[in-house]
Chains A and B, each alone.
Chain A
Amino acid sequence: KNEVEQSPQNLTAQEGEFITINCSYSVGISALHWLQQHPGGGIVSLFMLSSGKKKHGRLIATINIQEKHSSLHITASHPRDSAVYICAVRSNTGNQFYFGTGTSLTVIP
């Protein structure tokens, strides 16, 4: 059983489309992270959330603690957004990290 489930696994979008990636988790958490991993392998931390909503440029992340669910939205998607997006949670017992398997996003010009 995976503590973190992401959907969809793969996503192809046309440039300019609004994109949503979903993350559900089953453990109590102290924080949820959204990570971006480019084809070259480097990882960038996009957001760390414990409640509510955060926005950074065209990216918006929301979390619903009661429903144990988070979404990452990309507005006006661009080919440079093509990457794997990974949801990760830090449990509030034992400080463990659990990772989703990632959503591979391809944005076509």
Chain B
Amino acid sequence: DSGVTQTPKHLITATGQRVTLRCSPRSGDLSVYWYQQSLDQGLQFLIQYYNGEERAKGNILERFSAQQFPDLHSELNLSSLELGDSALYFCASSTQGNNYGYTFGSGTRLTVV
């Protein structure tokens, strides 16, 4: 157990639907990062939050949104889902001064059918 909890582990949904992925960071970590890993595009950075504020934005589609709550957990909302959104979605957290970088959750595998 890395200390970063992602739920659910697996999700199967239909095109056009909306889903919410949840991430609880490691205790004490203020930053949360979301990444997407698909077979054709590899790992891509979506968005970072730090202590509730958006810190950096990557290749996040307009159909996707995220937020970090006061208790520091984060949610990634994916709407109007398309087949191409099928991927592994990882959350990671970090704290300043961590020499090993980020701690990753085990991911949510999203399948859009």
Question: B101 to chain A: which residues have CB within 8 Å?
Answer: 31, 33, 45-48
Tell me the bound Cα distance from A21 to B2 in angstroms: 25
- Looking at chain B's contact residues, the main secondary structure is strand
* Minimum C-beta distance from A8 to chain B (A): 16
* Minimum C-beta distance from A72 to chain B (A): 13
What count of chain B residues pass the 8 Å CB interface test?
24
Q: How many A-B residue pairs have CB under 8 A?
A: 55
With an 8 A cutoff between CB atoms, is B70 at the interface?
Answer: no
With an 8 A cutoff between CB atoms, is A66 at the interface?
Answer: no
Which of B35, B100, B101, B109 has the most chain A CB within a 10 Å cutoff?
Answer: B101
What does the 1/0 interface line of B34-51 toward A look like (CB < 8 Å)? 010000001111001000
Interface residues of B (CB under 8 A from A): 2, 33, 35, 42-45, 48, 55-56, 58, 88, 90, 92, 98-104, 106-107, 109
